[in-house]
């Protein structure tokens, strides 16, 4: 069985500040991990993914995430927040031969203050 927990349903940062969105997973098989972003009234867009290669993964828009097996975590970071980063962020887990099934966390809404 697989599950994802995102700590904090809402995170607020100032423009230029570090963004840290937390994700912990549980998986009975080696996990594939994803971060998706959803802008208001839009579909989801992939930010980055981990598929058992490098543990530090770089994505689009300056985001990156580090896979830590010992901590079962896959936290998303960005050194300097921009107003355009305000959106809903979803962490998701899948696994080998799962037919593409993504299990999503409950989402974290990121607000960026000027």
- CB-based burial, 81-92: b 16+ in 10 Å, e otherwise: beeebbbbbbbb
User: In whole angstroms, how close is the CB of 61 to other proteins at the nearest point?
Assistant: 15
Shorter beta-carbon distance to other proteins: residue 18 or 54:
54
Q: How far is the CB of 24 from other proteins (least distance, A)?
A: 17
Strands 19-27 and 56-58: unpaired
**DSSP 3-state assignment of 2?**
strand
Q: Among the candidate windows 12-20, 42-50, 61-69, 75-83, which touches other proteins by CB under 8 A?
A: 42-50
Residues 85-104 that bind other proteins (CB under 8 A): 88, 90, 94-104
Cα 96 from Cα 36, distance rounded (Å): 19
106 binds other proteins (CB under 8 A): yes
Q: Please, are residues 79 and 67 in contact by the beta-carbon 8 Å criterion?
A: no
Binding site for other proteins (CB under 8 A): 32, 34, 36, 38, 41-46, 49, 51, 88, 90, 94-104, 106-107
């Amino acid at each position: 069985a697989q599950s994802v927990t995102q700590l904090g349903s809402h995170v607020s940062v100032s423009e230029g500040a570090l963004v840290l969105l937390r994700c912990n997973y549980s998986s009975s098989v080696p996990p594939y991990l994803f971060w998706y972003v959803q802008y208001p009234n839009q579909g989801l867009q992939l930010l980055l993914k981990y598929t058992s290669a490098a543990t530090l993964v770089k994505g689009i828009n300056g985001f990156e995430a580090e896979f830590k097996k010992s901590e079962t975590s896959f936290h998303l970071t960005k050194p300097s927040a921009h107003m355009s980063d305000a959106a809903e962020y979803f962490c998701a887990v899948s696994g080998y031969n799962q037919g593409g099934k993504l299990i999503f966390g409950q989402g974290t809404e990121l607000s960026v203050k000027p």
